[in-house]
Amino acid sequence: MAGATLANGNGQSEATTNMISTDILIIGAGPAGASLACFLASHGIHGVMVSSASTYADTPRAHITNMAALECLRDIGLEAECNRLATKGNNMTHTRWAYSMAGEEYARVYSWGNDPRRKGDYETASPCNPVDLPQTLLEPVLLRYATMNGFKCRFDTSFIEFADDEKTGTVTTTLQDNISGTRYKVRSRYLFGADGARSPVLKQLGLPLNAKPGQGLAINVLVKADLSHLMEHRTGNLHWLFQPDRAHPAFGWSCIARMVKPWHEWMFILFPDREASSDFNPTKEQYLQRVKELIGDESIPAEVLGVSKWYINEIVAEKYSKGNVFCLGDAVHRHPPMNGLGSNTCIQDAYNLAWKIAYVMKGLASPSLLETYSIERQPVGHGVITRANQAFRENRAVLEAFGFSSPDIETRKRTLQELSSPSEAGRARRKALQAAIEQEEHEFHGLGQEMGQHYESSAIYTADEKMPYKAPEAVVKDPVLNYVPSTCPGCRLPHVWLNKAVPVEPVSTIDLAGKGSFTVLTGIGGEVWKEAASQVGSQLGIMINAYSIGFRQDYEDVYFDWARVRDVDETGCILVRPDRFVAWRCAEVLGDAAKCADKLAMVMRSILGLSP
């Protein structure tokens, strides 16, 4: 097709080029889009990824990378690189509430698995450890992997519109090169909107949104300031700062000082006065002055590197896809960064979606499998935006305990003094402060929220379950704090350390699964399941790995932890999907290999949406 011209909205002529064809087109190269490209590439699927930005993230943005997300990246060999670049260990020990970085401290809590009482919970939940990895460091890792494994990436490229053709099963998308102004079209089998909180793909797709009133504006001020001499006894990556006895500018009512690079680069997240309008526009000097007040030591050199604004949203799409167009990440769930769930949920959206797209494209599954993406991930997104916003609201109880919500400085001063008073009022306020701080555990040790997702869809086979699934709230007192490992279909495969009879480097159960394949786990007396897996895999053209765990088996259950958590007989089996979620389990061996193979084949066909 020869080049042509068309008129843009301003009546100017623009050149158009030949139609480009590709299997996959991803709009957005942030954590959602780039991780989707990585996971698809790991399945041998190639495509094109575009971003309207001129480069990868130029500000730190998301930073906490939790174990659930790292397990996804571990599956394609990226965990080690993430750990190398990330901040971890003692630098993430606490979250604090203080007058200033150099000044008095009000309270602190342990964070991200560093509480001595919680370390065992984190270590038994996953082979990975939480890290602080700013988006500026994470995105290049993802982009490098994607582009080195078959994806083309184009920055300075804007999405204009798409047309989903049900007859041909293709999507034609119009893009614009932002440098030349040239518009061109891309025909793809699938289009993915991973284009952030103001997603134009989602907007055109017309997916309904469940939106609650927002909680105002926040301002990110990226700052260069060496605070290393202050941090020896203030270790932590998050520091809530507020000064009840001083007047404050409307744009800087309270603040979270977030470590970016220990201890010389920081993000000062300013929260404006709740009664103030959002149309103020402070100068760089005014931002710097407020930052210096919050640092608390005017002699420390500080430089403002950049300023950006964002709104505290509570929005989730009611559905994540329509036809051959899928949305993921911030496009479908928008919330404050509390609990550190933002980029982590984006990565897990992509991990859930990628194997399903790959199986359908390779003819290994019915297109109906793709419907389970929204069915499984939308409830997770809803839970994430609810928890993050609840965490933001819960922190107000801390400010209330200090009387910081009062507009009158003298009242705030008296309230602050009251905290050290031996009076009944002082005792009541200290009790309220303690309760408010203890509630913050739900944000900084929300292990159940991070790891406890449960899926219900046609890609999970539950017909053989004797009892219905018990939600965590029916098992533990606080499901946000506590993760309950389970092999119940729809749950994340539990992590257990295994070894060999002659000990070598330990291996996690989750490392036996994934890698684009289904996995069968069995034990002594269940050898026929391994034969069945081989037969069924050959029939369906699908790799089904099979391992026996137990005394002198493929892997030794050295601590007997697998025996405690597997919840099936040694002769039974557990079928795990490529995304390491349990798809089905059988309590015990069904007889000979033929019976086991028939059953496994029926289950696999059901999960993949294939005809019997």
Dist. CA 326–CA 324, nearest whole Å:
7
- pLDDT band of residue 474 (cuts 50, 70, 90) is confident
Which percentage of the chain shows pLDDT scores above 70?
A: 97
pLDDT of residue 90: 80
**240: region left, alpha or beta (phi > 0 left; psi from -120 to 50 alpha):** beta
The pLDDT of residue 4 = 36
Res 272 pLDDT > 70: yes
pLDDT of residue 408: 86
Query: What confidence score (pLDDT) does residue 373 get?
Result: 98
Q: What is the pLDDT of residue 57?
A: 85
- How much is the average pLDDT of 466-487? 91
**Confidence (pLDDT) at 3:** 39
Which pLDDT score, from 0 to 100, does residue 29 have? 97
* CA distances from residue 345 to 67, 100, 377, 502 in whole angstroms, order as listed: 11, 32, 9, 39
Structural tokens at position 313: 């949203």
**pTM for this entry:** 0.94
- What sign has the CA pseudo-torsion 523, 529, 534, 537? negative
Q: How many residues does the chain have?
A: 612
- For 386, residues 6+ apart whose C-beta sits below 8 A from its C-beta are 314
433, pLDDT greater than 90: yes
Tens of pLDDT, residue by residue over 196-245, are 999 999 999 999 999 887 778 899 999 999 999 999 999 999 999 989 88
pLDDT in tens, 541-583: 999 999 999 999 999 999 999 999 999 999 999 999 999 999 9
**pLDDT score of 17:** 56
Q: How many CB atoms lie within 10 A of CB 312?
A: 18
Answer whether residue 281 shows pLDDT above 80.
yes
The string of pLDDT tens digits covering residues 592-605 is: 989 999 999 999 99
pLDDT of 501 > 70? The answer is yes
Q: pLDDT digits over 15-35, tens only?
A: 455 799 999 999 999 999 999
pLDDT above 60 for 7:
no
Q: Which domains does the chain have, with CATH numbers?
A: 4-88+130-209+319-386 (3.50.50.60), 394-451 (no CATH), 472-608 (3.40.30.120)
- pLDDT over 90, % of the chain: 81
Q: What is the pLDDT of residues 325-377, one digit of tens each?
A: 999 999 999 988 888 888 999 999 999 999 999 999 999 999 999 999 999 99
Query: Higher-confidence residue: 86 or 399?
Result: 86
268 three-class SS: strand
Mean pLDDT (whole number) for 181-193: 97
pLDDT at 9 over 70: no
Angle CA(242)–CA(243)–CA(246) in degrees, nearest 5?
Answer: 145
Q: What average pLDDT does range 47-65 have in this prediction?
A: 91
Average pLDDT for residues 434-461, to the nearest whole number? 95
The answer on pLDDT for 120 being more than 70 is yes
